[in-house]
Chains A and B, each alone.
Chain A
């Protein structure tokens, strides 16, 4: 069965530190997508990134970067120079088939302390 593992339950860092959130997935598919979502304290779910398994290039968006390693089935997320506003629960997700349904990891709660 498809599965997403986020081994880090909680991480706490001091502002301006870099932090990496791990995500390991299991899949039987040869082509697939991976996602990261952010859930801030206000509770909504914010889409961060969708990645196609064909594209193994690392992606950078401002202070956010993603490292996709097909060989280790990992899709890790790094925040550079963390800020208090980055405090949230971050979810990695992978579709069971096609794009639905999304199977979510249990999430990593990131606390950035000023």
Chain B
């Protein structure tokens, strides 16, 4: 019973490049959440998606960041024109339902922007 999968685990980008982070939810889970953890800080919510829908993106920066969860395939968090301040650990979580179920987290993607 595979857990939440994220890849890559580590990603290095130069300023101005694009970063694509992938998340495959647990089997049977149709809700995906992205969180960001800056160094020495707690996790901050970014976006909540269901298949083909963005439900809540209140935590997403207004520019350069986007997320999708297509009908087929993993959820993608995309960061365009990365800057050094984007360096962080990005965690994906999934749950089967929304209002009462636990969110299970993937191992995270550590993004380093040079």
Q: Which residues of B contact A98 (CB under 8 A)?
A: 98-100
Please tell me if the beta carbons of A44 and B107 are within 8 angstroms of each other in the complex: yes
- Expressed in whole angstroms, the minimum distance between the Cβ of B57 and any Cβ of chain A is 10
Q: Do A44 and B105 contact each other (CB < 8 Å), given the known contacts A98-B98, A99-B100, A101-B33?
A: yes
Tell me the bound Cα distance from A100 to B43 in angstroms.
Answer: 13
* Interface: A77 (CB within 8 A): no
Please tell me if the beta carbons of B107 and A102 are within 8 angstroms of each other in the complex: no
Tell me the bound Cα distance from A105 to B99 in angstroms.
Answer: 20
Please tell me if the beta carbons of B98 and A47 are within 8 angstroms of each other in the complex: no
Please tell me if the beta carbons of A100 and B105 are within 8 angstroms of each other in the complex: no
Residues of B in contact (CB 8 Å), total: 30
* Binary B-proximity of A77-99 (CB < 8 A = 1, otherwise 0): 00000000000000101001011
Tell me the bound Cα distance from A50 to B100 in angstroms.
Answer: 10
Chain A interface bracket (under 10, 10 to 19, 20 to 34, 35 or more): 20 to 34
Q: Which residues of A contact B93 (CB under 8 A)?
A: 45, 102
Please tell me if the beta carbons of A99 and B89 are within 8 angstroms of each other in the complex: no
Q: Which residues of A contact B98 (CB under 8 A)?
A: 98-100
* Interface: B22 (CB within 8 A): no
Tell me the bound Cα distance from A35 to B93 in angstroms.
Answer: 14
Q: Which residues of B contact A35 (CB under 8 A)?
A: 102
Q: Which residues of B contact A101 (CB under 8 A)?
A: 33, 35, 45, 48, 56, 58-59
Q: Which residues of A contact B107 (CB under 8 A)?
A: 43-44
**Interfacial residues, chain B to chain A (CB-CB below 8 A):** 31, 33, 35, 41-45, 48, 55-56, 58-59, 89, 91, 93, 95, 97-108, 110
**Interfacial residues, chain A to chain B (CB-CB below 8 A):** 33, 35, 37, 43-47, 50, 91, 93, 96, 98-107
A-B contact pairs, 25 of them (CB 8 A): A37-B105, A43-B89, A43-B108, A44-B106, A45-B91, A45-B93, A46-B105, A47-B102, A47-B104, A50-B102, A99-B97, A99-B100, A99-B101, A99-B102, A100-B33, A100-B48, A100-B55, A100-B56, A101-B45, A101-B58, A102-B33, A102-B103, A103-B45, A104-B42, A105-B42
